[in-house]
C-alpha cells in the first residue's frame, strides 16, 4: 500500500509538472472504449490505454477515465452502467481508494462539461468528444512525449508488478519445457503454457510464439501446429504473462541435441548472461547490441560455421545473417514499451544505424529502466540465400549450416531491471525461486 502511495506521488509530480509546463489545468486520460469487427457485434479484445492503467492497481475496463489536475486529488470515473447482457462494472473497492475521488458515470456528458480551465486529453478519442468539448487539446505532443519518456523509469510499485508478471510467465515456461520433452505438439505446448501461467490467450501481453524444430527460425512464428513432431529437436518459446497490465517477455530454447546445436545453445546462454551483466547504468544500448553481434560472430568462428575473423564478419555483416533482430527493448505496460528511440523529454528521436536497423532501444541505460536482453542465432533460409547471392567470400560452411537448419534457431530472452548496484535479472530470479 505504501508502495502504491509513493507511486501515485511520483506520477502526480510528473503530471503536474507536465501540466504546468504546457499550460494546462487538467488532463483527462481515457482507458478506451470497445471497438468492433467490421459489420459485426463482436468486440476486439480490450487493452486499456497504458497511460490510464499506470495510475490504478486493478485491470481497467472500457469507459474508465482518470482526471489529473494541478491541485486536486486524482479523480477516477468508472462506468456505472447497468448491462444485463454482460457483467455490470462494480464500483472500485480497496484501501487504495482513499487516494482518489471516485465517481460513477454512465456517459461522458454526465461529467465532462462540468470541468473547467484549460484541458488536455490523452488516449483514444470518442466520436462525441469534439461536440462536447471542442476546445480540448487532444493528445498534445509536447506533454505526451514528456510523460511517455518518463514511463521508462519504473517505480518500486511497477517493479513489483513486473516481478509478478515474470513469475507467472516462468510458471508457464516450466510447463512448456516439460510438454516439449514429452514430444507434444506446438499447440499442446502452448496450452500447457497458458494453463500454468493462469492466462487466457487474450490476457497474454503478446501472442505467444511456440516453434518446434525448423519453425524456431521464424522470429515471430504465429502458427501452433496441432501435429506432434516425428522427432522433437528444438523448442523455441517466446511467451510472457501480464500482471495488472505489466508484461513479462521471456524466451527459452530447449534442445534434445547433444551435438553441435546443443553446443551452440550452451554458448549462446553464456553470451546472453555476459550481455545481461553489461546492462549497467551509463551503457549506450547500441554498444551492447554491437557486443552481441561480435559475440555471435565469435560463436560462428569457434564452431567453424564461419572461418572469417570477428572483425571480418562484422565488416561484411555476417552476424546479422544469423541474428537479424535487435538485442532488446524497454518493457513495462507495453511489451515494446514506448520511447525506446526517444532520447529526451522533448521527443528527440535517435534512430538505430544501418548496422542494426531493427534495434528498438537506442537510449543510454539508467537506473530504474526495465528492458529485455535477447540475443539470437538462427538458420533462416531466406537470409542465408541472400548472403550467398550477394557475398562471394562469406567464409561460411554451407554444408554444416544445412545440417543445422532442421533445428531452426536459438533465442534466450530475460527481463532486466537496471539498478545503481548493477543489473537485476527478474527472469532468472523467477526461474530460481519457482519450484520444479
Ligand atoms: N516477444 C517479442 C519480443 O521479444 O520482442
Ligand atoms: Mn522481447
Ligand atoms: Mn519475446
311-367 per-position pLDDT tens digit: 999 999 999 999 999 999 999 999 999 999 999 999 999 999 998 999 999 999 999
Phi, psi (rounded to 5 degrees) for 30: -95, 120
Q: Residue 426: CA atoms inside 13 Å, Cβ hemisphere, count?
A: 30
Counting every residue, how long is the chain?
436
Residue nearest to atom 3 of ligand 1 (CA): 249
Residue 368 CA to ligand 2 center (angstroms) comes to 18
Determine the distance separating the centroid of ligand 1 and the alpha carbon of 208, expressed in angstroms.
9
Q: How far is the CA of 238 from the centre of ligand 1 (A)?
A: 7
Cell of 358: 531493427
Cα of 413 vs centre of ligand 2, distance in Å, is: 7
**How many contiguous H segments (helices) and E segments (strands) does the chain have?**
13, 16
CA distance linking residue 411 with residue 398, whole number of Å: 21
CB of 186 closer than 6 angstroms to any ligand 1 atom:
no
Q: Is 374 in the pocket of ligand 1 (CB under 6 A)?
A: yes
- Cβ of residue 238 lying under 6 Å from some atom of ligand 1: yes
Atom of ligand 1 nearest to the CA of 336: 5
Q: Are strands 26-30 and 119-122 parallel, antiparallel or unpaired?
A: parallel
Contact 210, 189 (CB under 8 A): yes
Whole-number Å distance, alpha carbon 308 to ligand 1 midpoint, is 30
Whole-angstrom distance, CA of residue 48 vs CA of residue 53: 6
Backbone phi and psi for residue 71, each to the nearest 5 degrees, phi listed first: -125, -25
Say whether 413 counts as a known binding-site residue: yes
Q: What is the DSSP letter of 284?
A: B
Give the closest ligand to the alpha carbon of residue 331. Answer: 2
Q: Is 433 annotated as a binding residue?
A: no
How many Å apart are CA 62 and CA 31, to the nearest integer?
6
249 is in an annotated binding site: yes
Tens of pLDDT along the chain (436 residues)? Answer: 899 999 999 999 999 999 999 999 999 999 999 999 999 999 999 999 999 999 999 999 999 999 999 999 999 999 998 888 888 899 999 999 999 999 999 999 999 999 999 999 999 999 999 999 999 999 999 999 999 999 999 999 999 999 999 999 999 999 999 999 999 999 999 999 999 999 999 999 999 999 999 999 999 999 999 999 999 999 999 999 999 999 999 999 999 999 999 999 999 999 999 999 999 999 999 999 999 999 999 999 999 999 999 999 999 999 999 999 999 999 999 999 999 999 999 999 999 999 899 999 999 999 999 999 999 999 999 999 999 999 889 999 999 999 999 999 999 999 999 999 999 999 999 999 865 4
Cα–Cα distances in angstroms (integers) from residue 384 to residues 91, 104, 196, 234, 390, in the given order: 57, 59, 37, 20, 10
Greatest Cα pair distance in the chain:
73
pLDDT at residue number 435: 54
Q: Is ligand 1 within 6 A of the CB of residue 414? A: no
Looking at the CA of 415, name the nearest ligand: 2
Nearest alpha carbon, ligand 1 atom 4: 249
Q: In this structure, which ligand is nearest to the CA of 370?
A: 2
pLDDT in tens, 44-54: 999 999 999 99
For residue 388, give the C-alpha cell: 550467398
Interval between CA 364 and ligand 2 midpoint (Å): 18
Which strand (E) or helix (H) includes residue 403?
helix 398-404
Q: Which H or E run includes 415?
A: strand 414-419
Closest residue by Cα to residue 173 from 227, 253, 242: 253
Q: Is the CB of 207 under 6 A from ligand 1?
A: no
> What protein residues have CB closer than 5 angstroms to ion ligand 2?
249, 372
Q: Is 399 helix (H, G, I), strand (E, B) or coil?
A: helix
- Which atom of ligand 1 is the closest one to the Cα of 238? 1
- For ligand 1, say whether the CB of 153 is within 6 Å of any of its atoms: no
102 Cα–ligand 3 center, Å:
37
> Which stretches does DSSP call E strand in 54-130?
65-69, 75-79, 101-105, 119-122
Residue to substitute in 253, 335, 378, 409 for testing ligand 1 pocket (most ligand atoms within 8 angstroms of CB): 335
> For ligand 1, is residue 206 a contact (CB within 6 Å)?
yes
Ligand 1 pocket, mutate which of 173, 241, 374 (most atoms under 8 A from CB): 374
Q: State phi, psi for 221 to the nearest 5 degrees.
A: -60, 120
**Alpha-carbon dihedral sign for residues 92, 93, 98, 103:** positive
Question: C-alpha grid cell for residue 212?
Answer: 518446434
d(CA 292, CA 283): 14
- What φ, ψ does residue 32 adopt, rounded to 5°? 115, 165
Amino acid at each position: 500500500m505504501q508502495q502504491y502511495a509513493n507511486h501515485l506521488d511520483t506520477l502526480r509530480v510528473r503530471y503536474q509538472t507536465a501540466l504546468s509546463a504546457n499550460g494546462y489545468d487538467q488532463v483527462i486520460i481515457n482507458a478506451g472504449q470497445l471497438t468492433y469487427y467490421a459489420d459485426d457485434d463482436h468486440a476486439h479484445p480490450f487493452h486499456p490505454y497504458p497511460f490510464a492503467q499506470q495510475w490504478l492497481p486493478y485491470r481497467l475496463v472500457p469507459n474508465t477515465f482518470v482526471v489529473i489536475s494541478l491541485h486536486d486529488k486524482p479523480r477516477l470515473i468508472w462506468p456505472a452502467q447497468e448491462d444485463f447482457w454482460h457483467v455490470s462494472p462494480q464500483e472500485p473497492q480497496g484501501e487504495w481508494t482513499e487516494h482518489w475521488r471516485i465517481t460513477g458515470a454512465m456517459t461522458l456528458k454526465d461529467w465532462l462539461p462540468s470541468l473547467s480551465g484549460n484541458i488536455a486529453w490523452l488516449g483514444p478519442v470518442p466520436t462525441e468528444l469534439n461536440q462536447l468539448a471542442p476546445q480540448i487539446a487532444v493528445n498534445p505532443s509536447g506533454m505526451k512525449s514528456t510523460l511517455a519518456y518518463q514511463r521508462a523509469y519504473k517505480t518500486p510499485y511497477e517493479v513489483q508488478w513486473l516481478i509478478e508478471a515474470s513469475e507467472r510467465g516462468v510458471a508457464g515456461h516450466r510447463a512448456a519445457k516439460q510438454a516439449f520433452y514429452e514430444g507434444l505438439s506446438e499447440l499442446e505446448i502452448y496450452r500447457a503454457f497458458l494453463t500454468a501461467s493462469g492466462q487466457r490467450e487474450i490476457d497474454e501481453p503478446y501472442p505467444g510464439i511456440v516453434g518446434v524444430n525448423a519453425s524456431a527460425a521464424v522470429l515471430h512464428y504465429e502458427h501452433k501446429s496441432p501435429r506432434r513432431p516425428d522427432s522433437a529437436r528444438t523448442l523455441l518459446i517466446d511467451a510472457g504473462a501480464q500482471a495488472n497490465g505489466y508484461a513479462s517477455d521471456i524466451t527459452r530454447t530447449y534442445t534434445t541435441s547433444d551435438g553441435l546445436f546443443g553446443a551452440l545453445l550452451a554458448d549462446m546462454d553464456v553470451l546472453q548472461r555476459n550481455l545481461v551483466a553489461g546492462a549497467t547504468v551509463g551503457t549506450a544500448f547500441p554498444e551492447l547490441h554491437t557486443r552481441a553481434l561480435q559475440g555471435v560472430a565469435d560463436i560462428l568462428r569457434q564452431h567453424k560455421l564461419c572461418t572469417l575473423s570477428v572483425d571480418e564478419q562484422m565488416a561484411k555483416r555476417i552476424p546479422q545473417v544469423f541474428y537479424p533482430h535487435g538485442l532488446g527493448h524497454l518493457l513495462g505496460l507495453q511489451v515494446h514499451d514506448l520511447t525506446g528511440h526517444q532520447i529526451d523529454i522533448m521527443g528527440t528521436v535517435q534512430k538505430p544505424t544501418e548496422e542494426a536497423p531493427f534495434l528498438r532501444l537506442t537510449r543510454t541505460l539508467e537506473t530504474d529502466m526495465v528492458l529485455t536482453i535477447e540475443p539470437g542465432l538462427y538458420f533462416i533460409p531466406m537470409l542465408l540465400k541472400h548472403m550467398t547471392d550477394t557475398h562471394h567470400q562469406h567464409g561460411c560452411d554451407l554444408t554444416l549450416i544445412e545440417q543445422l537448419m532442421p533445428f531452426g534457431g536459438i533465442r534466450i530472452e530475460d527481463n532486466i531491471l537496471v539498478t545503481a548496484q548493477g543489473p537485476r535479472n527478474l527472469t532468472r530470479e523467477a526461474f530460481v525461486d519457482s519450484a520444479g
